[in-house]
Amino acid sequence: MNIADQVMAVNNDLPIRTALPVHSGKVRSVYWLTEDDSRRLIEQKGYPVPLDTPLAVMVISDRISAFDCIWHGEQNMQGIPGKGAALNAISNHWFELFRQKGLAQSHILDIPHPLVWIVQKARPVMVEAIARQYITGSMWRAYQKGERDFCGIQLPEGLQRDQKLPEVLITPSTKGILEGIPGVPEADDVNVSRQNLVEHYQSFGFRNPEDVDLYEKLLKQGFAAISESLAQHQQIFVDTKFEFGYVTDQNGQEQLIYMDEVGTPDSSRIWDGVAYQQGQIIENSKEGFRQFLLNHFPEPDILLNKERMPERFALARDNALPVSAMMDLSKTYTQIAQTITGKAIELSAHPKEEIIERLQRDYQLISM
């Protein structure tokens, strides 16, 4: 079988019965179920949510996004084999660990297929919750330029690239473009301080100022749980991005929960611990693919400079990457997923057909 056939490249055209247009992001597509189907599944499956909770089917793809672009490979490879299943498996593993440790819940109610979640509607907090244990990436680039104030945190002099920080730092950024907040530029992914969040908590979607403390607590608890678990596999949890939102529980109370994915190679940097002790950085995350792209093209500034976005989109559209690079990334995703979960990632021969069959057989959600 052609390996490209096993890639779930398009995930927004499944015949799932919906109440709203399909929302398709860079990697996931969201199918909002009808009111009747939501209520029926809550009753049939015993989901622990109010009967009137809107539900959605979330289908992950194998598309690869980096530098805000979707990339493709030679031989019609429109994604990374095994990537979607690896991301879901890792997130599922960490959410279960969080549950065992008594941390906050997630928005996931059911897992019908390795590429599919059934989720409850959540009201997102408009903050990319970022925690860093090492100085690398954008923080290092800013530090190199002489910046010592990062998201309102004062960094000491004399830090070296990839050095472990004295403590885990929380360096939030905006999720989407937020308007009318003093001192916060109206652009996506802008660094903000804790003071920004507390002073303008409503603009960021927090229910009250105390929930800024709660999100930080949940972020640190989640980071510590993943970091400790990865250390047992001689892997280093370098930094990560969590997302949070509010749901209504069965008692009608709003709860702050984890949402989207957690601790994956897409949302985190993960380094090989043995190599790090020897002075090497071996990436077990998407960061290695980003570095490949920076080295692959003669003008890396196109990928780093947001003022050159039209050129960047053209670069991604017009250049099929080597199959070897796509398969190297596939190995990164599937191997780190196996390390974390203890189970091999199995590729579906016909993922879309499998999903449709499963959603009809067990959930009666397919429009016939």
Q: What does the buried/exposed string (b/e) look like for 16-32 if buried means 16 or more CB atoms within 10 Å of the residue's CB?
A: bbbeeebebeebbbbbb
* pLDDT value, residue 349: 84
Neighbouring CB atoms inside 10 A of 130's CB total 23
Tens digit of each residue's pLDDT (9 = 90 or more) over 185-228: 998 889 999 999 999 999 999 999 999 999 999 999 999 999 99
CA 92 from chain centre, in angstroms, equals 12
Sequential DSSP letters for 248-293: E-TTS-EEEEEES--S-TTTEEEEEHHHHHTT---B-STHHHHHHH
CATH topology assigned to domain 123-277? D-amino Acid Aminotransferase; Chain A, domain 1 (3.30.470)
CATH architecture of 3-122+344-363: 2-Layer Sandwich (3.30)
H, E, C per residue of 43-74: HHHCCCCCCCCCEEEEEECCCEEECCEEEEEC
Q: Rounded distance, CA 292 to CA 294, Å?
A: 5
- Domain chopping of the chain, boundaries: 3-122+344-363, 123-277
Instruction: Note whether 128 and 171 are within 8 A (CB).
Output: no
Q: Rounded distance, CA 2 to CA 351, Å?
A: 14
Q: Rounded distance, CA 40 to CA 226, Å?
A: 35
> What is the reported pTM?
0.93
* pLDDT value, residue 252: 87
User: Which value, to the nearest 10 degrees, does the dihedral of the CA atoms of residues 109, 267, 229, 162 take?
Assistant: -170
Q: Rounded distance, CA 132 to CA 134, Å?
A: 6
Residues making up the chain, counted from first to last:
368
Mean pLDDT of 299-328: 95
- Beta strands 164-170 and 173-174, pairing class: unpaired
At residue 135, does pLDDT exceed 60?
Answer: yes
Q: Rounded distance, CA 362 to CA 5, Å?
A: 25
At residue 82, does pLDDT exceed 90?
Answer: yes
Instruction: Note whether 207 and 246 are within 8 A (CB).
Output: yes
Locus of tokens 């730092």: 169
- Beta strands 69-73 and 320-321, pairing class: parallel
Q: What is the mean pLDDT of the chain?
A: 94
Proportion of the chain above pLDDT 90, given as a percent: 90
